[in-house]
Amino acid sequence: MKDISKLRIETKRLYLRPVEADDFQDLCRLDRDPEVRSFFPEGALTVEQVQRELTRFIQEWQTIGFGMFVAIEKKF
């Protein structure tokens, strides 16, 4: 298992970090929104599907050392 807890990338406008379990509610807001998911063939996801997706994202970081990032906009 790789330690990614301190992996952070910073740009002029954004902070980027690996997906974490605490991101579940934010991911639900995005993935359950039909407008956000309008270009995905499966459409909006269920809560269970979002949980499986989040679990997969976290496992990818732990097993292969890279994966999805969360983008956090800086406040100016």
Could you read off the pLDDT of 3-30 as tens digits, one per residue?
777 899 999 999 999 999 999 999 999 9
pLDDT of residue 65: 87
Asked if the structure places residue 68 within a domain, the reply is: yes
Asked if the structure places residue 2 within a domain, the reply is: no
Asked if the structure places residue 42 within a domain, the reply is: yes
Query: Does pLDDT of 1 surpass 70?
Result: no
Query: Can you read off the two tokens belonging to residue 17?
Result: 């970090």
Provide the number of structural domains found in the chain: 1
10: CB partners within 8 A, 6+ apart: 16
Domain of 18, in residue numbers:
9-73
Asked if the structure places residue 54 within a domain, the reply is: yes
Asked if the structure places residue 1 within a domain, the reply is: no
Q: What is the pTM of this model?
A: 0.84
Task: Identify whether the C-beta of residue 51 lies closer than 8 Å to the C-beta of residue 24.
Answer: yes
Could you read off the pLDDT of 44-74 as tens digits, one per residue?
999 999 999 999 999 999 999 899 999 999 9
Asked if the structure places residue 3 within a domain, the reply is: no
Asked if the structure places residue 26 within a domain, the reply is: yes
Phi, psi of 14 (to 5 degrees): -135, 155
